Amino acid sequence: MTSSGRMIAVCLLGFSTATAAALVKHDGATARSPMPAAQQTTFNRDIAPILFRYCAACHRPGEAGPFPLLTYTDAKAHARQIAAVTSKRFMPPWLPEPQELKFADELRLSEEQIALIQKWVEQGAVEGVPADLPPAPQFVAGWQLGRPDEIIEAEKPYTLPAGGSDMYWNFIFRTPVDRTRWLKAIEIRPGDKRVVHHANILVDRNQSARRMEADPRAGFPGMELKIESETFDPDSHFLFWKPGTVPRPEPESMSLRLDKDTDLVLNIHLQPSGKTEKIQPNLGLYFTDKPATHFPLLLQLENDRQLDVPPGEKRFLVTDEFTLPVDVDLLAIYPHAHYLGKDLQALATLPDGSAKTLIHIPQWNLNWQAVYRYADPVPLPKGTTISMRYIYDNSSENLANPNDPPRRVVAGNRSSDEMAHLWLQVLPHVSSNADFDPRMLLQETMARHNLEKNPADFAAHYNLAAMLQARGAQSEAIQNFELAVRLRPQDATANNALGASLLAAGRIGEAIPYLNAALRAQPDNFDAHYNLASALASQDKFLEAIEHYRAAIRLHPDDANAEANLGSALAEAGKLSEAKLHFQRALRIDPNHKLARENLEQINRDPKNLQQ
Amino acid sequence: MHRPSLSSRPLLCFFLSFAVPLLLALPSLLAAQKTALHLDSTPADPFLAASGKPVVLIFVRTDCPISNRYAPVIQRISSEYGAKIALWLVYPSKASTAEKIRQHEREYGYKLSALRDPQHALVTQAQVQVTPEAAVFDGHHRLLYHGRIDDLYQDFGRARPAPTTHELDDAIQAALGGKTPPPNTPGVGCYIADAE
């Protein structure tokens, strides 16, 4: 029996700084036109409804807006400001152009609303009669979804300097669960909302991000990170916070699995405010008894390899196209580029030839990046081609350009590097008679697509091999694991997976060198100890096998399979009383462990064997 | 009958002697109508206190995120030029009470003197429109420069990673060295007129 390979879900989330706002140059001050008194625009009748609906969620005490906009006095004290920022569409922040496919919670003012604000200011920002004032918006104080079942706070605060450029910081939250639980929501309270531009949670089931912390438990800087995930467990949910976000519980059927020893990594984008700020975020966890029955997944289009933008280039195009191998519902979309991103667009071309704009952001602004959820799921049939079309501006006209003067920019994780990513949350349609998991077919197709773009893509070879292995295409799986190992000969995970794959094919002699290589690269690799022990046991090298099973158990003392197999190896080596002890341990961990029970019963039936 | 040569003399002297106190009285009379205030609410004249040094006024607002973001830059300028200039933070908002200003200065680490300008006496004199904008006057109280501190912001939400021009520094050095000041360039920020 082998513990098969791990799946590397490469998860890159990005962030950066900014550019912005559709620049409809609109000079309110020169566009004065005297209005008859009858057409007097007033705060109470005309402006309050707009501010309450679009602005107040952030512009109220304790929220991200720098000043409240809840009363006439508040609005009057910023009247020209409001007119200027709305006419430039800097506020409220909403990047996508209007389109046929509607987004939920759209924060876009109409031209009429913008004109009304201009008129109100030109006419002297009059209050109007009290009877016209709509009721003030009601907000929930504190946790938006009520008291969480568990609150976890970052262990150490991060101190943001008073000045300088934007900062990206990652906090690792150890989760307080002792068994697998299901979450219906995670509410992010990022700290002082005036400095936090947005935040994103990555689920780190393998505690792989902890290796990034120079000072344990203090977190670590960085804009993008990679998370390794164990087994087939692709990312499935966007866990995103931006100012004004009210957390949205997941649909009951799509709860989020949280295992014991899972870390939640909170990546936040901070903008200095002029004074030093201590940032110590909290997460509120809301549990549910209902395990997920529907499994969405995050698909990523990207083409970082195309990103090689010469200095001065104003329209550098990066594209990617992916054809869906199964029917899906598109639930949400998250375009991502850094500071050179200018015009970001995603299209879907359906099998009937019709095309739909999935999103179009003509003036990308990293500061206001967001996950956009569709008002209704968008059905995309098998054969639909999703295309990403991003334009980058590396000239000095792009104010957000991190380089002055501009220089050549390629893909990378730093904010001065670039990215071309498009994430889509899709829910594959599951047909009752299908004998495959559509998510696995999507992953396999995605891995093959990535290899077309880049034959030297380690993660793609690895993930493709893992999918092939899972559906029993053993020789092609081995071939791809071999290619992954050739690309990264020192990678413990890949060496172990290749070893495990060879082991599963009965090629034991060939497996052992790779398993040894995995242990040289990472002596505390549980899987490699376990697999090597199993390989040695199959060659009747029980004493060596026993050592590796013991090493595996030292790393994972609660692994029933390792205990049972150690028992078997000990029994084969004639150490029956010790073997019995380990079968009993395996049964204490898992009372239904068949192998341990059968072997134990056999020893008990034939007690004279104990004398051997 | 007029005998201009002699009789006009005392008249002229009388007129002049009257004119001197009148001219002196004029600014104080205006000041009584429109004046900036110290935080203890006594009238403030930053020019009188400057004793011939260049006067630099930087206009800020407690609730303006853009002027707040400039706090470290403003503090740096204050430390850099020290006693060579008379630098004042000016809060033009009526709503900024002395107590709010003191708290704001503490929070943002300002170690320079602040004035309230609820009647916009200094706003008018400095010809500023938004916070943060600065005005630099030479030793003769002539306005050399008014406008942005630097080019960090080009528009709302359009900030560079770091500024590429430093108008306020240039203007102060012009005032100190008798050089040509930079052209007046409007700032990006919060409209002072909103604070009326």
Composition of chain A by helix, strand, coil, percent to 5 = 35, 20, 45
User: A150-288, what's its fold?
Assistant: Jelly Rolls (2.60.120)
Averaged pLDDT, B170-182: 94
**CA quadruple A429, A430, A432, A433: dihedral sign:** positive
Query: Which chain A residue is nearest to residue B152, measuring alpha carbons?
Result: A399
CA nearest to A93, candidates A64, A68, A73: A64
* CB spacing of A67 vs B63 below 8 angstroms: yes
Averaged pLDDT, A499-519: 95
Distance in angstroms (rounded) separating the CA atoms of residues A15 and A552: 39
pLDDT at A144: 86
Question: With 60 as the cut, is the pLDDT of residue A15 above it?
Answer: no
Confidence (pTM): 0.81
Residue A8 near residue A229, CB atoms below 8 Å? yes
Distance in angstroms (rounded) separating the CA atoms of residues A521 and A292: 37
Cis, bond preceding A92 (omega within 30 deg of 0): yes
CA nearest to A318, candidates A336, A305, A306: A306
Name the CATH architecture for the domain at A300-438: Sandwich (2.60)
Residue B55 near residue B141, CB atoms below 8 Å? yes
Distance in angstroms (rounded) separating the CA atoms of residues A488 and A608: 51
Interface residue of A80, A192, A366 to substitute, partner B, most B CBs within 10 Å: A80
Q: Does A83 contact B at CB distance below 8 Å? A: no
Residue A118 is classified by DSSP as: H
- Which residues on neighbouring strands pair with residue A347, listed in sequence order? A357, A387
Q: Does A365 contact B at CB distance below 8 Å? A: yes
E strands in A213-294: 220-221, 240-241, 256-258, 263-270, 277-279, 282-288
Averaged pLDDT, B11-29: 36
Q: Does A88 contact B at CB distance below 8 Å? A: yes
Residue-by-residue DSSP string for A441-466: HHHHHHHHHHHHH-TT-HHHHHHHHH
- Which residues on neighbouring strands pair with residue A202, listed in sequence order? A265
A567-571 long-range contacts, CB within 8 A, separation 24+: A567/A596, A567/A599, A567/A600, A568/A537, A568/A595, A568/A599, A569/A533, A569/A537, A569/A542, A569/A545, A570/A542, A570/A546, A571/A599, A571/A603
User: Homologous superfamily of A452-611 in CATH?
Assistant: Tetratricopeptide repeat domain (1.25.40.10)
Give A196-243 pLDDT, tens digit per residue: 888 889 888 878 888 888 888 889 988 766 666 655 566 788 888 888
pLDDT at A315: 97
Residue B184 is classified by DSSP as: P
Distance in angstroms (rounded) separating the CA atoms of residues B23 and B18: 9
Question: With 70 as the cut, is the pLDDT of residue B1 above it?
Answer: no
Give A68-105 pLDDT, tens digit per residue: 999 999 999 999 999 999 999 999 999 999 999 999 99
Name, in order, each residue with C-beta under 8 angstroms of A115's C-beta and a sequence gap of 6 or more: none
pLDDT at A165: 79
* CB spacing of B155 vs A404 below 8 angstroms: no
* CB spacing of B154 vs A368 below 8 angstroms: no
pLDDT at A37: 52
Q: Helices H, strands E: what count in chain B?
A: 7, 11
Distance, in angstroms, between B102 CA and closest chain A CA? 15
Q: Report which secondary-structure segment, H or E, holds A168.
A: strand A167-174
Count of CB atoms situated within 10 Å of the CB of A222: 16
* CB spacing of B68 vs A162 below 8 angstroms: no
Q: Which of A19, A66, A399 sits opposite B65 (nearest CB)?
A: A66
Name, in order, each residue with C-beta under 8 angstroms of A88's C-beta and a sequence gap of 6 or more: A21, A22, A23, A24, A25, A26, B155, B156
Count of CB atoms situated within 10 Å of the CB of B30: 11
Same CATH fold, A452-611 and A150-288? Answer: no
pLDDT band at A30 (very low <50, low <70, confident <90, very high): very low
Burial (Cβ within 10 Å: 0-12, 13-18, ≥19) of residue B42 = exposed
Distance in angstroms (rounded) separating the CA atoms of residues A270 and A268: 6
Contact list, A404 vs chain B (CB under 8 Å): 160-162, 164
Distance, in angstroms, between B114 CA and closest chain A CA? 17
Contact list, B161 vs chain A (CB under 8 Å): 17, 165-166, 339, 400-402, 404
> Which residue's entry shows tokens 């059968």?
A598
Distance in angstroms (rounded) separating the CA atoms of residues A23 and A548: 65
Distance in angstroms (rounded) separating the CA atoms of residues B144 and B176: 11
Query: Which chain A residue is nearest to residue B158, measuring alpha carbons?
Result: A19
Q: Which of B157, B161, B193 sits opposite A20 (nearest CB)?
A: B157
How big is the CA angle at A97 (ends A325 and A68), to the nearest 5 degrees?
120
pLDDT at B22: 36
Q: Does A81 contact B at CB distance below 8 Å? A: yes
Contact list, A71 vs chain B (CB under 8 Å): none
Distance in angstroms (rounded) separating the CA atoms of residues B146 and B132: 11
pLDDT at B5: 36
ipTM entry: 0.76
Averaged pLDDT, B151-162: 88
pLDDT band at B195 (very low <50, low <70, confident <90, very high): confident
Cα B121 to Cα A598, B44, B90, B116, B146: the distances in Å are 94, 10, 11, 10, 15
Burial (Cβ within 10 Å: 0-12, 13-18, ≥19) of residue B24 = exposed
Domain ranges, ordered by start, for chain A: 31-132, 150-288, 300-438, 452-611
**CA quadruple A410, A301, A331, A100: dihedral sign:** positive
* CB spacing of B157 vs A163 below 8 angstroms: no
- Which residues on neighbouring strands pair with residue A187, listed in sequence order? A284
Distance in angstroms (rounded) separating the CA atoms of residues A72 and A120: 12
pLDDT at A230: 53
Question: With 70 as the cut, is the pLDDT of residue A36 above it?
Answer: no
